[in-house]
């Protein structure tokens, strides 16, 4: 028989923790946790401070790109690697370990996922600050992510809620960074750009309006959810909804842009871009509502 604890269970006869302060912390595991997190930090330090300067760029496009384009392209590719790898790890978690259990001790897979994304958030934060383009949105987002992960690592419990969130949280990020990757390759006015753009919009709306907010129910109903989870997750949802509110106007603008291109008799190709100067003469210019 079992005793319910929030949305999870405890063996009969044991004292169910009623607060994050009551969670049993095995201090002998802290060294293991620190080592795995350190590996994540070292890995992402290499990815940013080596990859952003030396990652290969296809020669055909590299010759047509500026030095700044090279840097931004590499930076976005490095970011997309995190999104893709996180999605793979999260899918493995959903298949092999999915649970909504409250007070669940972190598994080794969850610790690897924590280390991977903690290292990414920390180094992305540091690298953007170091290079002078850390904006307030990323500052707040990464601060909340780092705070939640530190709590989850120290307390050794309830990271499952974030493992659950990482798939919808990263699912649209490859396409999001793909927007800049494709643009920097000179393919802003091509079919591949518009296909990737609409893919991003749809993925982002589905994941951020519906999927991620439902996860907060499991956090809120868990008696041992830590303060960072309870406080920061709602702010994360609000940030998502703010960006979601900007997407329908962007989708409409892209649709009107395509119609204008068709109206002036120009035809979009998959990998051969239209002349942006010619488009400017016809009143067609690149437009964004927010920085991604």
Range with the poorest average pLDDT among 7-11, 89-93, 147-151, 182-186 = 7-11
Answer whether residue 4 shows pLDDT above 70: no
pLDDT, tens digit, for every residue of 243-262?
999 999 999 999 999 999 99
Buried-state track 115-148, b at ≥16 Cβ within 10 A, e below 16: bbbbbbbbbbbbbbeeeeebeeebeebbebbbbb
Rounded CA Rg of the chain = 22
Long-range contacts of 238-242 (CB under 8 A, 24+ apart): 239/137, 239/140, 239/141, 240/208, 240/209, 240/212, 240/213, 241/208, 241/209
Cβ proximity of 72 and 180 under 8 Å = yes
pLDDT band at 229 (very low <50, low <70, confident <90, very high): very high
Q: Which residue has the higher pLDDT, 150 or 10?
A: 150
* Residue 9: Cβ-neighbour burial (10 angstroms; 0-12, 13-18, 19+): middle
> What mean pLDDT is predicted for residues 125-154?
95
């Amino acid at each position: 028989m079992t005793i319910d604890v929030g949305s999870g269970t405890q063996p009969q006869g044991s004292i169910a923790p009623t607060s994050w302060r009551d969670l049993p912390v095995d201090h002998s595991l802290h060294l293991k946790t620190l080592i795995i997190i350190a590996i994540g930090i070292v890995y992402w330090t290499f990815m940013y401070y080596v990859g952003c300067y030396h990652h290969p760029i296809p020669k055909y496009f590299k010759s047509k790109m500026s030095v700044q384009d090279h840097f931004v392209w590499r930076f976005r590719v490095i970011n997309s690697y995190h999104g893709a790898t996180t999605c793979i790890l999260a899918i493995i978690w959903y298949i092999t370990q999915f649970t909504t259990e409250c007070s669940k001790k972190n598994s080794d897979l969850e610790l690897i996922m924590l280390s991977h994304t903690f290292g990414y958030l920390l180094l992305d934060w540091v690298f953007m600050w170091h290079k002078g383009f850390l904006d307030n949105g990323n500052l707040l987002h990464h601060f909340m992510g780092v705070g939640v992960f530190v709590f989850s690592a120290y307390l050794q419990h309830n990271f499952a809620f974030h493992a659950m969130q990482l798939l919808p949280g990263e699912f649209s990020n490859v396409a999001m960074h793909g927007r800049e990757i494709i643009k920097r390759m000179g393919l802003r006015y091509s079919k591949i750009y518009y296909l990737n753009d609409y893919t991003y919009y749809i993925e982002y709306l589905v994941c951020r309006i519906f999927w991620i907010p439902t996860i907060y129910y499991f956090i809120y109903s868990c008696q041992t959810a830590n303060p960072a989870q309870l406080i920061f997750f709602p702010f994360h949802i609000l940030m998502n909804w703010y960006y979601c509110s900007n997407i329908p106007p962007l989708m409409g603008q892209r649709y009107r842009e395509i119609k204008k291109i068709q109206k002036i008799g120009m035809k979009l190709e998959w990998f051969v871009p239209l002349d942006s100067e010619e488009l400017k003469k016809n009143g067609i210019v690149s437009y964004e509502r927010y920085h991604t």
